[in-house]
Amino acid sequence: MKIDVDRTTCEIHAQCVFAAPDVFSLDEDDELVYDADPGPEHDEAVRSAALVCPVQAIRVSGDLA
Ligand code: SF4
């Protein structure tokens, strides 16, 4: 699965960080950092993160488990 976050849309609500903390996090400058190619064990959490993002900034592509 591939993840792409539209940084022009993302408003650092951090809902994705709560939904998938192994994939999304905030760095010391409160910038979003994420694993763009997480393993299939993260599919469900990433799907949840994409759903809860208030501005639909998370795009998911590729195979989902
Ligand atoms: S939930 Fe959406 S807006 Fe918030 S940090 Fe994650 S991608 Fe950005």
In the chain, the number of structural domains is 1
CATH code of 13's domain: 3.30.70.20
Q: Is the dihedral of CA 15, 16, 19, 23 positive or negative?
A: negative
Q: For atom 3 of ligand 1, which residue has the closest CA?
A: 10
Dist. CA 43 → ligand 1 center (Å)? 17
Dist. CA 9 → ligand 1 center (Å)? 8
pLDDT at 62 (0 to 100): 86
Domain residue limits at 57: 2-61
Note the pTM of the prediction, 2 decimals. Answer: 0.92
Per-residue pLDDT of the chain (65 residues; tens, 9 = 90+): 899 999 999 999 899 999 999 999 999 999 999 999 999 999 999 999 999 999 999 999 987 65
Query: What's the token pair of residue 19?
Result: 């939904």
pLDDT at 22 (0 to 100): 98
Alpha-carbon distance of 52 to 29, in angstroms, equals 23
Strand 24-26 relative to strand 2-5: parallel, antiparallel, unpaired? unpaired
